[in-house]
Amino acid sequence: MALSTRGKTLVGVLSVVVLAGAAFVGFRLLTKEEGEPIIPGVPILDQPTLCPLTGEEAPSDQVVERPALAIKVENIDEARPQSGLAEADVIWEEEAEGGITRFIAVYHCEDAARVGPVRSARPVDPPILLLFRKPLFGYAGGVAKVEQDIAEAGVIDLNYIDAAEAYTRDPNRTAPHDLYTTTRALRREAGGRGQVPEALFTYEEDPPERRGTRPGRQIVADWSIATDVMWRYRSGDGLYRRFHGEEAHILEDGSQMAVDNIVAMMVERLDTRIVDPAGNPVPNFEVVGEGDVVVFRDGRALRGSWERPEEGEPMRLVDRRGEDIPLKPGTTWVMLYPTDAEAPLEY
């Protein structure tokens, strides 16, 4: 339909207004002061600062600018109930020796007033720590080869001897299951050293589509005769709760250990020729290269691969199309599950 003279005039006026507005915005972009809104009176909405290890909004900009802090925590009957695990952004579970497992609890955006029992480092720790660039590391010693690898990795070494002021002995616990620390005490000992970590994984709020996934509400990780772990998903709060067999994994504050995501990395066992005092071989695991992975979130299981070309490079979790597998924003538990474990991972 042809426009009337009045219609043409209106279109012409609107075109001039749009062009003038665009020119004004362009001019403001070139001349405005930092932090000043483009259009006076219309504020700029700040994007929230996210914690790189959880994908959640940070409690403050200051905590994001500090290095990650990793603490080695014991996991046997005598060590339970443990302290401080619920405050960790990410926890790595690895086999130590004799079929038992041990944790690396990594803190960045949260602090914990009591963490422990703190125990010694293991061969697989240095390459894991390098994923956090230059983190702080609190632990209770280790064999000479492991301590040398930690030094060569360039992490900030806050072991219980060199940073003795940051550790205490609990008189109500028996040695060696009595060593504790706090995140603030270890950060004081670090004296501002370390580097801010980069994002460890990718995150996405929306739950995965059912197509291409499997149910993942219960996970059975039968590491060995000494470690039989189960995780159960509760849709009410969207968390996975940890069990030792059928017994709930209860922390010192009375809560059950629970996280938003489980990442099960299938890893090859390596011979270190190191044995513990009881004669058990101390293993290492291949965390550089690639392997199968299963990611559990929102009650679903997503299968794919973990990829890490070099020790100094980040790790990717990818699906069969080569695209990143996003985690749910929140806390994550990573299991380094041996390919030669007592039984395959069940879910």
**CATH fold for the domain made of 61-190:** YerB-like fold (3.50.90)
Contact (CB, 8 A) for 123 and 83: no
Write down the domain spans for the chain: 61-190, 214-338
Of residues 136 and 279, more confidence is placed in: 136
What span, in angstroms and rounded, lies between the C-alpha atoms of 187 and 299? Answer: 36
Quick one: pLDDT band at residue 173, thresholds 50, 70, 90? very high
pLDDT at 46: 67
Label the pairing between strands 300-308 and 289-297: antiparallel
Quick one: pLDDT band at residue 344, thresholds 50, 70, 90? very high
Neighbours of 3 (CB within 10 A): 10
Residue by residue, DSSP assigns 45-59 as PPPPPBPTTT-SBPS
Taking 50 as the threshold, does the pLDDT of residue 17 lie above it? no
Rounded average pLDDT over 138-158: 96
Q: Which amino acid would we find at residue 34? A: E
Of residues 113 and 37, more confidence is placed in: 113
Looking at the chain, the whole-number percentage of residues with pLDDT higher than 70 is 87
pLDDT at 36: 47
Q: Which residue has the tokens 């064999």?
A: 143
Contact (CB, 8 A) for 286 and 271: no
Q: Which residue has the tokens 């159960």?
A: 232
Distances (CA, A) of 171 to 76, 116, 177: 19, 14, 10
Q: Is 137 left (phi over 0), alpha (psi -120 to 50) or beta?
A: beta
Is-same-fold flag (61-190; 214-338)? yes
Per residue in 88-109, pLDDT tens? 999 999 999 999 999 999 999 9
What span, in angstroms and rounded, lies between the C-alpha atoms of 312 and 99? Answer: 29
pLDDT at 286: 98
Quick one: pLDDT band at residue 53, thresholds 50, 70, 90? very high
pLDDT at 18: 39
Rounded average pLDDT over 118-140: 97
Residue by residue, DSSP assigns 234-297 as ETTTTEEEEEETTEE-B-TTSPBPEESEEEEEEE-EEEEEEE-TTS-EEEEE--SEEEEEEEEE
Burial 335-347 (b: 16+ CB within 10 A, else e): bbbbeebeeebeb
Per residue in 179-223, pLDDT tens? 999 999 999 999 999 999 999 999 999 999 888 899 999 999 999
Taking 80 as the threshold, does the pLDDT of residue 266 lie above it? yes
Helix, strand or coil for residue 302?
Answer: strand
Of residues 79 and 28, more confidence is placed in: 79
Q: What's the CATH superfamily of 214-338?
A: YerB-like (3.50.90.10)
Mean pLDDT for all residues in the chain: 89
